[in-house]
Amino acid sequence: MLERLNQAMEHIEHHLDQRIEVSDLARIAVTSEYHLRRLFSALAGIPLSHYIRRRRLTVAGAEVLAGQRTLLEVAVRYGYTSGEAFARAFRAMHGVGPGEARRAGASLQSQPRMSFRLIVEGSSSMRYRIVEKEEFQVVGKKARVPLVHEGVNPHIAAFIRGLGQETLQRIQSLSDQEPEGIVSVSDNLDGSRAEGTELDYYHGVVSSADVPEDLEALTVPAGTWAVFENSGTFPQALQYLWRDVFTQWFPSNPYQGRPGPEILRTRLSQDAAQADAELWIPVERTAL
């Protein structure tokens, strides 16, 4: 998988002055567009679209300083429809406009080329199982919240506090299938998974019961799920679990992510310092 991903990175480098289609990159990496975006974001720490834009502006910056083309020619070459649009993007990355950079010989920012390699540490193993699950529904309360990569998401925490114990107990009583008990469900995430992009968050249970009028339901189609377990410090262990799924498990196993919600079941210690977690990720098997 990593070798194919590096071939996609080479394709980007050879086509920075052309239109780059994610579908072409996915074909080279022999995976889906959905999984490629998710995998790249997890491995690189930035969305794929941001990386391509920053690589273009890095190469464009060198051409601006070289002075062999007009600024408009450089802008058009790297996909900008006007000098103004190019100047805005250039300033956002480099902190200075292209005209000023050329006149003053300014120092510019650089986005290095990326390649990926597997580091074998051997210090831990991941506990997982594959589950085939029929269509089901998540029943509970829903909020639209921004994505937070590190630490407790304050928007989700505030939302849960506002539900009240009576509502939480009533929701929990509807749980009648795996994963059991209250779960956190993330759905409709932005493809980039960039910090601050929004998602639908459900605090609810997996249930076959009739949905009460004051609650909401998310219907989840039948499919295959990879279920991961870990224990550790809260919330870091949960966030590291998600990271390790995409940076270690997917590159080493014949599966790829498919569209669908991510489901997290968490059991906290009495002081809320430790957590046992079970993460459900929708997957599909790939050809070897």
pLDDT in tens, 67-126: 999 999 999 999 999 999 999 999 999 999 999 999 887 889 989 898 887 554 444 456
Strand partners, 220: 136
Confidence at residue 124, expressed as pLDDT on a 0 to 100 scale: 47
**CA dist list (Å): 11 to 8, 19, 21, 74, 147:** 5, 11, 10, 20, 30
Confidence at residue 123, expressed as pLDDT on a 0 to 100 scale: 42
CA 3/CA 84 separation, integer angstroms? 38
Residue with tokens 């590096």: 6
Cβ neighbours of residue 282 closer than 8 Å, sequence gap 6 or more: 223, 224, 225, 257, 258, 259, 260, 261, 262
pTM above 0.85, yes or no: no
Domains and CATH numbers, the chain: 2-104 (1.10.10.60), 127-285 (3.20.80.10)
Mean pLDDT to the nearest integer, 171-200: 90
For the stretch 213-234, pLDDT in tens is: 999 999 999 999 999 988 888 8
The answer to whether the beta carbons of residues 115 and 9 sit under 8 Å apart is yes
CA 168/CA 18 separation, integer angstroms? 53
